[in-house]
Amino acid sequence: MFRIELTRGSSWQEPAETIDHRDCETNSIDAAVAEAKYWLVQTQKNAPARGVTHYRVVGENGTALGGPP
């Protein structure tokens, strides 16, 4: 399972704020990243006032991947 976070800030590695998050029940990091990218684009399109700039995918061990760079 992975946790997807939508964040605001200058980079996904050190976000200024976590805007929203949800669990992604998959064992595939590729599927979690695809879901995160889709959620980011949809949120930016449908709720621009939220100011979301990046996504992060956090594994159960705390390892994080994110984007866009």
Distance CA 55, CA 58 (A): 10
Sorted by where each begins, the domain ranges of the chain are 2-67
Can you give the pLDDT at residue 68? 87
Distance CA 11, CA 67 (A): 8
Can you give the pLDDT at residue 56? 97
Can you give the pLDDT at residue 69? 74
Residue 22 DSSP one-character state: E
Can you give the pLDDT at residue 36? 97
19-28 exposure pattern, b = at least 16 Cβ within 10 A, e = fewer: beeeebeeee
**What pTM was estimated for this model as a whole?**
0.91
Tens digit of pLDDT at every position of the chain (69 positions)? 999 999 999 999 999 999 999 999 999 999 999 999 999 999 999 999 999 999 999 999 988 999 987
